[in-house]
Chain A
Amino acid sequence: MASDAAGAAKTTYREAMREALREALRADDRVFLMGEDVGRYGGCFGVSLGLLEEFGPERILDTPLSESAFVGAGIGAALNGMRPIVEIMTVNFSLLALDQILNNAATLLHMSGGQLPVPLVIRMTTGAGRQLAAQHSHSLEGWYAHIPGIRVLAPATIEDARHMLAPALADPDPVLIFEHGSLYNASGELGPPAGPVDLDHAAVRRPGTDVSLITYGGSLPKALTAADELAADGIDAEVVDLRTLRPLDGRAVAASVARTHRAVVIDEAWRSGSLAAEVSARIAEDSFYELDAPVERVCSAEVPIPYARLLEQAALPQTADIIAAAHRAVD
């Protein structure tokens, strides 16, 4: 993710997200940030550190541990002219607000015959890899991508962390942003903005001709590492970052498969009923005659994510698993 661009600033994913929040709060008085420990604590993962001091308690609101109430309050405030950004500590806790997200945020526009758009942004951490055990480690963004009426984003790069928030806030409908916990410390150089990020399209992070590694979020660095190692084996892998999980950019997936004729889908969620399953089904529907090999999937083992390091790592998609899957597809 490092850039050689002259004048580029060294930063981290966390700082890029914070800068995006700062920019949004400065740009629009209707924007406010609300969530558990976003203020005095500075955010559970340090993303909002310093924003309370800069913007004050009317715009950086510490909430009680009431996910349903403060997510619902975000919906109501959005209906009433504001542009709330709600932070939920992790996707695991978002289940306590699932009623509000699904039955209200995603549904009100339709149920009201188009009268009530909900311009709400909800950010949350997702994913495993830090020995936090099952209740802090799940990847449930694929569940949310099942729901019509919401947009689901998974910024995987520092650039996307910095530049996806503004278009998310400009969207008149609810947008969920999933930040993989392993990415916050990712550092690199952020070049000058190349204009607002397009939220409708996937991105090819590494062009290639032999196999498509299709992934998103916290698995992107693993896929890029795998592609580097595959190159040493003489396999030229293309890495596709889905970026937006709903609406899914099926055309980008089909275009990549048309170039490589082989696909490996990498998803940290469980395999059964996963986003990887959806992507694989799209490939079967749209690109069947392009395929030279069966679609491969690399997902988490079907087990609640365990604490012990050895077990946790064994449960998660690893670079070696991606390389092995690519070899099966190509060889």
Chain B
Amino acid sequence: MTSVRGTHRRKATMGADVATRAERRGELLHAMLRIRRFEERCVELYSAAKIRGFVHLYIGEEAVAVGVNEALTAEDAVVSTYREHGHALARGLPAEAIMAEMYGRATGCSGGRGGSMHLFDAGRHFYGGNAIVAGGLPLAAGLALADRMCGRSRVTCCFFGDGAFAEGEFHETANLAALWGLPLLFVCENNLYAMGTALQRHEAQTDLALRAASYGMAAWAVDGMDVEAVERAARRAAEGIRGGGGPYFLEMRTYRFRAHSMYDPDRYRDKAEVERWKARDPVTRLADRMREDAEPVEDLLGETERQVTEEIDAAVDGAERAPEEPVESLLQHVTSLRTEAT
């Protein structure tokens, strides 16, 4: 994971033990704010009809993507969902390539073929945005299978939501991964709603870690609103996987502050419930913790906001100026060798 600006993330060149706790927290804060502000800009651009299609916001869940990413190396693979801007940004996909994709431009990270739900970056082992709930899980098992066959010590991390627990593909993949001891990190982002259906209305047993454990893999629940708790859990799981311990499962208890998508009037949630969760905002929570520990945070926040705004402004500017894909390219990338006509 490398920095977009190259100043605030030094993990690649400096060991985590060297960086002070305050610096490390500053990096986490930056990574989360970057996602938050990027998505807030997406809302503005959607309202301005610059972005279309389905857009699913990650706001509120940033601690999960950022904390898990800390446990992954640049070689590790990630399979994501349609709520993926946070995962993509945390993995180091350039904000401009993501924004251009949402603009449907040629410079987008999927050449304008995917949009918000289908961000890809083969070079960064980011195997994208799957818009079929649980559809990325079998694919993630295959990535992990190939690594095991080739003797690579890579971890494949697969994000999915609580809604995936009602899909057969989750259970098929959990069984297969545990049976074959695959190096797969299951990260369930339990935000309590499968679109508009509350967890207790779609699962008979709502203890998801318990159910995952029944497949014979290590599984536990994590406070998904606490980026440091997420990082600790993810590091422990990733170390277990790299040590040959087979798949691990983490249930990240989190919440999305915004509606399911831009189309969602959000009629199914109690406003008081939303407010209760907003009180646990992962960004303010980390900032508060830094204040409690007498770590400098006010200047840092100001500087972080400035850097993030600058980066997002540049991303939007780049997307605005990027060329559209020519219509002549319509049939490209259907097959590798031939231009498919039949």
State the Cβ distance, A83 to closest chain B Cβ, in Å.
Answer: 10
The answer to whether A109 and B334 touch (CB under 8 A), given A103-B135, A246-B342, is: yes
Contact of A114 with B332 in the complex, beta carbons under 8 Å: yes
Say yes or no: is B191 at the interface (Cβ < 8 Å to chain A): no
Say whether A73 contacts B141, CB under 8 Å: yes
Contact assessment for B142 and A74 in the assembled complex, using a CB-CB cutoff below 8 Å: yes
- Across the interface, B120 reaches (CB within 8 A) one of A72, A80, A84, A112, namely A112
- How distant is the Cα of A115 from the Cα of B337 in the complex, in angstroms? 13
Query: Of A63, A78, A82, A117, which contacts B336 at CB under 8 A?
Result: A117
Q: Is A330 an interface residue (CB 8 A)?
A: no
Q: How many residues of B contact A (CB 8 A)?
A: 48
Flag whether A133 is at the interface (Cβ < 8 A). Answer: no
Give the Cβ gap from B325 to chain A, nearest Cβ, in Å: 9
CA distance A104 to B130 in the complex (A): 8
Bound-complex Cα distance A117 to B335 (A):
8
A66 and B170 alpha carbons, distance in the complex (Å): 11
- Residues of B close to A78: CB separation below 8 A: 142
C-alpha spacing A81/B112, complex, angstroms: 25
| Chain B residues near A79 (CB-CB < 8 A) | 127, 139, 142-143, 146
User: In the bound complex, do residue A111 and residue B128 qualify as a contact, i.e. CB atoms below 8 Å apart?
Assistant: yes
Asked if B121 is an interface residue, CB under 8 A from chain A, the answer is yes
Q: Of the candidates B156, B175, B338, B340, which one forms a contact with A66 in the assembled complex, judged by CB atoms under 8 Å apart? A: B175
Query: B300 at the A/B interface (Cβ < 8 Å)?
Result: no
Is A76 in contact with B128, judged by CB distance below 8 angstroms? Answer: no
CB distance from B107 to the nearest CB of A (A): 10
Say yes or no: A149 contacts B340, CB within 8 Å: yes
Tell me if A73 and B335 are in contact (CB < 8 A).
Answer: no
- Interface status of A248 (Cβ within 8 A of chain B): yes
Knowing A72-B173, A115-B121, say if A80 contacts B110 (CB, 8 Å). no
Q: Closest chain A residue to B340 by CB distance?
A: A148
Closest Cβ neighbor of A172 among chain B residues? B336
Render B135-150 as a binary contact track against A, CB cut-off 8 A, 1 for contact: 1011111111111011
**Is A80 touching B143 in the complex (CB atoms < 8 A)?**
yes
Residues of chain B within 8 A (CB-CB) of A76 are: 127, 138-146, 156
Please tell me if A116 contacts chain B, counting CB pairs below 8 Å.
yes
Q: How far is the CA of A143 from the CA of B326 in the complex (A)?
A: 31
Q: Is A60 an interface residue (CB 8 A)?
A: no
Q: Could you list some 9 contacts between A and B, CB below 8 A?
A: A64-B176, A70-B176, A73-B139, A73-B145, A76-B143, A100-B138, A112-B128, A113-B108, A172-B337
